[in-house]
Amino acid sequence: MITVTINDKEIKLEKAVTVLEAARSAGITIPTLCYHEQLERYGGCRLCLVEVEKMPRLQTACTLMVADGMVVRTETEQIADVRRGILEFLLINHPLDCPYCDKAGECTLQDLVEKYGPGKGRFKEKKRKVPESLQDPVIVRNMERCIMCTRCVRMCEGPQGASAIAVINRGGHSHIEPFSGGRFDCEYCGNCVSVCPVGAIMSRLHRHSYRPWQVKEQYETVCPYCGVGCTVITQVRDDVIKRVIPKLGSSVNNGMLCSRGRFGYEFVGDNDRLTTPLIRKNGVLAEATWEEAITLVAKKLSEIKIASGSEAIAGIASPRCTNEDNYVFQKFMRAVIGSNNIDTTARTGYAGAQSFIENIFGQGATANIISGLANSDTVMVIGGDPTTVNPILGLQIRACARRGGNVLTIGDFAGLSKFSPKKLLPGKYTETILLEAIVTALREKKGLSGSNGPLESKIKDISVTAADAAAKCGVPEQQLSAFVDLLAGAATYSLVIGKEIVQSTGGSYKLLLLAAINYLANGRIYMLTEKANEQGALDMGCAPDLLPGYRPVAFPEFAKKYGAQWHAEISEKPGLNLFAMIDAAENGSLKAMYVMGENAVCNIPNSGRVEKALKNLDFLVVQDIFLTETAKLADVVLPALAWAEKGGTFTNMERRIQLVRKSVQREGLEDWKIIAEIAKNMGYGMEYVSSEGVFHEIAKVSPLYRDLTYEDIGKGENIYPYKGEPLRDVKEDIQVDTASAVASAGKLYLQIERPLFHSGTLSTRAASLRNIYPQAVARISSATAKALSLTEGDVVNVRTKAGSLSLFVAIDKDGDSSAVAISNNFERKGAFRLADYALDQVTKAPCIDAVEISIEKVTA
Count of residues that bind other proteins according to CB under 8 A:
16
Position 160 contacts ligand SF4 (CB under 6 A): yes
The one of other proteins, ligand FES, ligand SF4, none whose footprint includes residue 150, by CB under 5 to 8 A per kind, is: ligand SF4
Write the interaction track for ligand SF4 spanning residues 220-249; mark x where CB under 6 A is met and - where it is not: ---x-xx-xxx-------------------
| Secondary structure element (H or E) that encloses residue 626, with its range | none
The one of other proteins, ligand SF4, ligand FES, none whose footprint includes residue 177, by CB under 5 to 8 A per kind, is: other proteins
Bridge partners for 596 per DSSP: 623
| Secondary structure element (H or E) that encloses residue 523, with its range | strand 523-527
By C-beta, is 18 or 761 nearer to ligand FES? Answer: 18
The one of ligand SF4, ligand FES, other proteins, none whose footprint includes residue 855, by CB under 5 to 8 A per kind, is: none
Residue nearest to ligand SF4 as judged by C-beta position:
261
Position 179 contacts other proteins (CB under 8 A): yes
Cis peptide before 118 (omega within 30 of 0): yes
Among positions 48, 288, 367, 433, the unique one binding ligand FES when judged by CB under 6 A: 48
Position 336 contacts ligand SF4 (CB under 6 A): no
Residue among 499, 427, 498 nearest 469 (CA): 427
Position 658 contacts ligand SF4 (CB under 6 A): no
The one of ligand FES, ligand SF4, other proteins, none whose footprint includes residue 168, by CB under 5 to 8 A per kind, is: other proteins
Residue among 2, 15, 10 nearest 26 (CA): 10
- Kindly report the three-state secondary structure assignment for every residue of 357-424: HHHHHCCCCCCCCCCHHHHCCEEEEECCCHHHHCHHHHHHHHHHHHCCCEEEEECCCHHHHHHCCEEE
Q: What are phi and psi of 338, to 5 degrees?
A: 95, 25
Point out which span in 41-49, 87-95, 558-566, 586-594 binds ligand FES (CB under 6 A). Answer: 41-49
Position 177 contacts other proteins (CB under 8 A): yes
230 in helix, strand or coil? coil
Shortest Å, Cβ 181 to other proteins: 8
The one of ligand FES, other proteins, ligand SF4, none whose footprint includes residue 229, by CB under 5 to 8 A per kind, is: ligand SF4
Please tell me the distance from the alpha carbon of residue 535 to that of residue 481, in angstroms, as a whole number: 36
Please tell me the distance from the alpha carbon of residue 43 to that of residue 59, in angstroms, as a whole number: 10
Taking a C-beta distance cutoff of 8 angstroms, is the pair 696, 709 a contact?
Answer: yes
Q: Which residues contact 427 (CB under 8 A, 6 or more apart)?
A: 472, 473, 474, 743
Residue among 801, 749, 750, 796 nearest 777 (CA): 796
Shortest Å, Cβ 664 to ligand SF4: 18
Position 167 contacts other proteins (CB under 8 A): yes
Point out which span in 63-71, 198-206, 768-776, 804-812 binds ligand SF4 (CB under 6 A). Answer: 198-206
Please tell me the distance from the alpha carbon of residue 543 to that of residue 574, in angstroms, as a whole number: 9
Point out which span in 197-205, 615-623, 720-728, 823-831 binds ligand SF4 (CB under 6 A). Answer: 197-205
The one of other proteins, ligand FES, ligand SF4, none whose footprint includes residue 36, by CB under 5 to 8 A per kind, is: none
229 in helix, strand or coil? coil
Position 28 contacts ligand FES (CB under 6 A): no
The one of ligand SF4, ligand FES, other proteins, none whose footprint includes residue 769, by CB under 5 to 8 A per kind, is: none
Shortest Å, Cβ 383 to ligand SF4: 18
Among positions 4, 28, 52, 60, the unique one binding ligand FES when judged by CB under 6 A: 60
Among positions 157, 343, 539, 737, the unique one binding other proteins when judged by CB under 8 A: 157
CA 510, 513, 519 angle in degrees (round to 5)? 145
Please tell me the distance from the alpha carbon of residue 374 to that of residue 397, in angstroms, as a whole number: 6
The one of other proteins, ligand SF4, ligand FES, none whose footprint includes residue 230, by CB under 5 to 8 A per kind, is: ligand SF4
Strand duo 240-246 + 231-237: pairing: antiparallel
Residue among 677, 592, 683 nearest 289 (CA): 677
List the alpha helices (DSSP H) in 9-164: 19-25, 77-93, 108-116, 151-157
Write the interaction track for ligand SF4 spanning residues 374-393; mark x where CB under 6 A is met and - where it is not: ----------------xxx-
Binding site for other proteins (CB under 8 A): 157, 163-170, 174, 177-180, 418, 420
Binding site for ligand FES (CB under 6 A): 32-35, 43-48, 60, 62
